């Protein structure tokens, strides 16, 4: 049998297709795929050798040359499409055109993702028909594209019930984060929840925050408006371990305490307790004091050791306050440049606050930074009887006045020793359940905790939510909007109508 009589071309093409199909179905049988592709190449070479004269005659035709040019253009176009798709699959670009940038990751999330110490596996137990499926998919695609250390798997608990039982899944739309033997469970597809899950599993150990109790402080278990349960949940999502401490029972603050929080005490704190708090700070501890205007805690002796004092009266601001609200409901917009305030863009609402003073001579060893101030059109009101509030030059202290301050030692501690830090805020209500969800309050509270705990990666704008963010005008802005919308715009429309009517009448 002559070589020309064998259908070598058909055999070669068939073997090539068989090899590709075999590789897609059984990639582990690489030797079989290699043999099929090798035989396909040999068959095609023999085909061209056997039909060399016919190939030469075919290539000399004018139609062949034109067809070859067209084929080359098609091949080049296909190659370009393949290269573009290859690059797009590995370097995809997404544009978020939503009004509030709901599908863009916040600076905080990007910092956390960039600093991941190890791989994180996210298993989402959900079904395509569940309400959270699409939200999880869109959000986690952004996380996965931001770091190769993040892998995501979607599991239908109905199709894989054993796996769901292994993870203890009792409801759908649940995501399990795993990394380095640590796990975290997330039940909502919001960025705040997902980033909190990343933080919890990526940390080698959790830093401990203790809230002082025994003097009428805000309760971590209180879910009413005056409680701190929302603040506790926010701290836990940031990867902290949160607990309580009674210095009436304990003789010292535990050494593993990252932050000691004194949240709005109403009854006197004994001198012995203040000595223990001072000793904790002197050893390199971090203290957060929230002192209300009407507090009877008598923390003056403790504050005096650092050159601080809680000013008398209540802060009143005619400019930076909540529109249609009380004169003492401060809407603070003036911040000093500091790590805590560097990314703050929203105002912080301080209801009923007091100012903090600093004696440079007594606190000469400390760097004093006033984090937040009232406007120049403010003062510390010492007489609120009858709710008639006005500036008394003799009795009241004119602003601007600081109501939140930060202290750090001027001299760095010895190598290997922790650096103490103090933040004093003249109000505790801003972090209660009633006000913590206000746009700036949550950021300011978590930034403060991040700075005190030396968690620099957490000092950034918190993950954005799709929640409605209302515009809160101050009194000046409110009057401007009133004049513009109620008087100027209707007057302009009326004037334009009169002018058009007169012009038409003359025609």
Q: Which residues contact 382 (CB under 8 A, 6 or more apart)?
A: 312, 313, 392, 395, 396
Residue in 85, 94, 87 with CA at minimum distance from that of residue 143: 94
pLDDT (tens digit, 9 = 90+) per residue, 398-450?
A: 889 999 999 999 988 888 889 999 999 999 999 999 999 887 898 899 889 98
How far is CA 491 from its chain centroid?
45
Helix (H, G, I), strand (E, B) or coil at 56: helix
Check whether the bond before 400 is cis (ω within 30° of 0): yes
Element (H, E) at 47: helix 30-50
Element (H, E) at 360: none
Q: Regarding the domain with residue range 107-186, which homologous superfamily does it belong to in the CATH classification?
A: Glutaredoxin (3.40.30.10)
Q: Are 465 and 190 in contact (CB under 8 A)?
A: yes
Distance CA 314, CA 354 (A): 5
Tokens of 132: 């959270």
The predicted pLDDT at position 2 comes to 52
Per-10-residue mean pLDDT of the chain, 507 residues long, equals 61 79 70 80 78 68 66 65 58 54 72 88 91 89 89 92 87 88 83 83 85 95 94 86 94 94 95 96 96 91 95 88 76 89 84 93 92 90 68 81 94 87 96 89 90 74 50 67 80 86 78
What 316-319 contacts at long range (C-beta under 8 Å, 24+ apart), as own/partner pairs, is 316/378, 316/379, 316/380, 316/381, 316/389, 317/374, 317/375, 317/377, 317/378, 317/399, 318/375, 318/377, 318/378, 318/475, 319/375, 319/376, 319/377, 319/378, 319/474, 319/475, 319/476
Which class is 205-458 in CATH?
alpha beta
List the alpha helices (DSSP H) in 167-286: 191-202, 229-237, 271-282
pLDDT (tens digit, 9 = 90+) per residue, 232-261?
A: 998 887 778 999 999 999 999 998 999 999
| Residues paired with 369 in a beta bridge | 406
Distance CA 262, CA 166 (A): 41
Q: Are 220 and 232 in contact (CB under 8 A)?
A: yes
The predicted pLDDT at position 504 comes to 81
Tokens of 452: 């005190």
The predicted pLDDT at position 468 comes to 47
Tell me the torsion sign for CA atoms 239, 243, 247, 250: negative
| Residues paired with 174 in a beta bridge | 125
Distance CA 336, CA 371 (A): 5
The predicted pLDDT at position 389 comes to 67
pTM exceeding 0.85: no
């Amino acid at each position: 049998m002559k070589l020309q009589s064998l259908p070598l071309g058909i055999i070669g093409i068939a073997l090539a297709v068989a090899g590709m199909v075999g590789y897609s179905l059984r990639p582990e049988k690489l030797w079989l795929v290699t043999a099929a592709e090798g035989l396909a190449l040999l068959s095609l070479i023999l085909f061209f050798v056997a039909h060399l004269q016919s190939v030469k005659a075919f290539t000399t035709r004018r139609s062949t040359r034109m067809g070859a040019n067209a084929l080359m253009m098609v091949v080049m176009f296909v190659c370009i499409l393949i290269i573009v798709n290859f690059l797009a699959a590995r370097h995809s670009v997404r544009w978020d055109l939503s009004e509030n940038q709901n599908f863009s990751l916040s600076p905080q999330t990007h910092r956390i993702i960039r600093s991941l110490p190890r791989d994180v596996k996210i298993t989402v137990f959900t079904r395509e028909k569940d309400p959270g499926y699409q939200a999880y998919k869109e959000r986690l695609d952004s996380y996965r594209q931001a770091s190769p250390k993040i892998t995501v798997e979607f599991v239908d608990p109905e199709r894989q019930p054993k796996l769901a039982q292994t993870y203890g899944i009792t409801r759908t739309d649940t995501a399990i984060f795993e990394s380095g033997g640590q796990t975290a469970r997330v039940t909502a597809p919001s960025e705040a929840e997902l980033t909190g899950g990343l933080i919890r599993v990526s940390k080698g150990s959790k830093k401990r925050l203790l809230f002082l109790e025994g003097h009428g402080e805000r309760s971590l278990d209180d879910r009413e408006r005056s409680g701190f349960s929302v603040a506790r949940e926010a701290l836990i999502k940031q990867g902290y371990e949160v607990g309580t401490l009674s210095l009436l029972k304990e003789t010292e603050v535990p050494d593993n305490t990252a932050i000691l929080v004194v949240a709005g005490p109403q009854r006197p704190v004994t001198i012995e307790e203040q000595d223990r708090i001072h000793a904790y700070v002197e050893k390199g501890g971090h203290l957060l004091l929230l002192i209300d205007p009407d507090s009877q805690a008598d923390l003056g002796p403790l504050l005096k050791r650092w050159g601080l004092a809680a000013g008398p009266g209540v802060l009143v601001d005619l400019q930076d306050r909540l529109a249609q609200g009380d004169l003492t409901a401060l809407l603070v917009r003036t911040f000093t440049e500091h790590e805590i305030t560097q990314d703050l863009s929203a105002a912080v609402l301080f209801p009923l606050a007091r100012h903090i003073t600093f004696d440079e001579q007594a606190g000469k060893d400390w760097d004093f930074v006033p984090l937040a101030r009232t406007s120049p059109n403010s003062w510390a009101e010492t007489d609120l009887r009858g709710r008639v509030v006005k500036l008394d030059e003799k009795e009241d202290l004119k602003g601007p006045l600081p109501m939140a301050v930060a202290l750090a030692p001027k001299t760095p501690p010895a190598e290997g020793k922790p650096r103490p830090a103090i933040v004093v805020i003249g109000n505790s209500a801003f972090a209660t359940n009633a006000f913590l969800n206000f746009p700036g309050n949550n950021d300011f509270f978590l930034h403060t905790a991040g700075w005190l705990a030396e968690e620099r990666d957490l000092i950034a704008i918190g993950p954005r939510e799709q929640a409605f963010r209302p515009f809160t005008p101050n009194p000046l802005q409110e009057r401007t909007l009133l004049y513009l919308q109620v008087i100027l715009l209707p007057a302009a429309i009326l004037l334009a109508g009169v002018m058009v009517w007169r012009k038409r009448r003359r025609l």
